[in-house]
Amino acid sequence: MTMNPDYNTRVDLFKESPTRKIDVIKEKLQQEGKDIILLSTGQPSIPPPRWAREKLAEELLEESMKLYAYTPTQGRKTVLEAIRRELEEHGLKLGEKQITLTAGGQSALFAAITVLFKQGDNVAVFDPMYFGYWPLLDYAGVNVIDIVEDIKQGFKPDLDKLEEIASENKLKAVILVTPDNPTGRIITREEAERLASLAEKHGFYIIVDEAYRTLVYEGEHHYIYKYAPDRVIALNAFSKDPGIPGWRLGFAYGPEWIIQRVKLVVQETVYCTPAIAQRLVEIYLTDRKRREEHIERVKQIYMSKRDAMISEIEKTLPKAEYVRPKGGMFLFLNLEEYLKPKSMTAEQLSLKLLEEKGVATVPGSYFSKHYKYALRLSFVSEKPERIREGIHRLAQLLEEI
C-alpha cells in the first residue's frame, strides 16, 4: 500500500477490523442477489423507541442551533446527570468529574488505554475477549497475559490464575467484559468482590467493559466499581441500549484523575461527542418508565431469539459445546469435535458457511488464541425462524465436510 516508509509505522498495527472482511464478502453475495442469514453482526435489530424518535424529529424542525452546536467535551450536563442518577440507583456514588461522554464504546476503549498504559506494562485479559481490544493493546505496546476462560466452567474468569499472575508480575491492569462479548457470560457478585479486592491488594486497575450491561436475561449485572472505586474504569456505550450503534455515543466513569484525562483524549480525537446522539439519549433516559418498558420488550425479543438458537443447536449439533448466554447478544459455539478431526479451522468453516450456505458468522479465532474451532453467533439480528434455519444449514455443512 505504500511507497514511502517515512511515517508513523506503528499505525499499521491498526489492522482493518476483522468483521469488515466478512462484511465485504457478505455484501458481494447480497449484490449477487443471494439472501444471507446474518448471525455475524453485533448490532441491535430494534431501533430506539418511537416516542423518543418522535420528540427528536420535532426538534429537528426548530429554527435554532441548539441541536447542532458543539457541546462540552465531557457532555451536556443534563445527559451526565441522567447517567449519574441511573448509576446511583445501582449504588454507585460518582462525583461530577467522574463521568465523561465518549464517541461510542470504541472511543472509551481508545481513551482509557491511551491514558493508562505505557509501553511494557503487563495487562491481563480473559480469553476469549472482544477483538476490538487487540490492536489497541498492540499499539500501546503492552505485554498481554492471557487467562483462558474454560467453556466447561461456563467461561468463569479464573481469578485464582489472576491472583497468581498478580503475585508474580507487576500487573498494571486487567480487562474484563461483562456481560461478555463473545460468550454472554456475566460475573457474579462474589467474582466482582474478589476482583476488586485483588486489584486493591496488588495495586492494579480493572478496565471493565459494560456495553451490554442492560441486556441481562438471567441474574443481574454487578458493578465492580462499587467494590474498588479507586481501581475501576468502566466503559459503556449507548450502541446496544437504546440501539444507536452508528450514532457513536458512550461514556466512561471511574476515578476523577483518570476520567479527566480520558476527557482530554476525547477532546483531541473528536472535540465533542455527537450532540444529536446526546439529545436522543437525554430524552430516552429521562422518561424512566417508558425506558424500562422498552428495555423489557427488547430483552423479551432477544431472549426468545436466543432460545430459538439454543433449541436448534440442541436438536442438530449434539457434539457442539456452548454456554447459555446470560446477557449480551452472542453465543460462543465450540465445534472442536466436528472440526478438529477434519483439521478444519473456524475461519475456513465460517467462510465456507457464508459462501456455500449463505450464513454469516464470526470465527472464534478473532476473539481467542485458545478456541480455534469456535464460531461467535449473534442471536439478535434475525427472526427466530431464520436463526433456526442458519443453525440448520451449519449442521448440514458440518455433515457434508
Would you count residue 228 as binding its own copies (CB under 8 A)? no
Would you count residue 243 as binding its own copies (CB under 8 A)? yes
Would you count residue 116 as binding its own copies (CB under 8 A)? yes
Residues 274-333 that bind its own copies (CB under 8 A): 274-277
Task: Candidates 109-117, 332-340, 342-350, 359-367: pick the segment binding its own copies (CB under 8 A).
Answer: 109-117
Pairing of strands 122-127, 143-148: parallel
Alpha helices in 206-319 (DSSP H): 256-270, 275-286, 288-316
How far, in Å, CA of 326 to CA of 305, rounded? 13
**Nearest CA among 293, 372, 318 for reference residue 128:** 372
- Joined together, the cell numbers standing for residue 369 give 488464541
Task: Candidates 84-92, 102-110, 216-224, 327-335: pick the segment binding its own copies (CB under 8 A).
Answer: 102-110
Distance in Å, CB of 199 to its own copies, minimum: 13
Residues 132-191 that bind its own copies (CB under 8 A): 132, 135-136, 139, 172
Contact between 325 and 366 under an 8 Å Cβ cutoff? The reply is no
Closer residue to its own copies, CB minimum distance, 20 or 289: 20
Distance in Å, CB of 205 to its own copies, minimum: 9
* HSE, side-chain direction, 13 A CA sphere, residue 50: 0
How far, in Å, CA of 70 to CA of 245, rounded? 20
- Joined together, the cell numbers standing for residue 44 give 441491535
Residues 42-101 that bind its own copies (CB under 8 A): 43-48, 50, 53-54, 56-58, 60-61, 63-65, 67-73
Task: Candidates 159-167, 238-246, 311-319, 357-365: pick the segment binding its own copies (CB under 8 A).
Answer: 238-246
Amino acid at 163: E
Distance in Å, CB of 181 to its own copies, minimum: 14
Would you count residue 343 as binding its own copies (CB under 8 A)? no
Would you count residue 23 as binding its own copies (CB under 8 A)? yes
> Of these, 107, 181, 183, 236, which contacts its own copies (CB under 8 A)?
107
Contact between 232 and 100 under an 8 Å Cβ cutoff? The reply is no
Would you count residue 341 as binding its own copies (CB under 8 A)? no
Distance in Å, CB of 104 to its own copies, minimum: 6
Which helix or strand (DSSP H or E) is residue 232 part of?
Answer: strand 232-237
At 386, is the secondary structure helix, strand, or coil?
helix
> Of these, 32, 33, 91, 118, which contacts its own copies (CB under 8 A)?
118
Contact between 329 and 212 under an 8 Å Cβ cutoff? The reply is yes
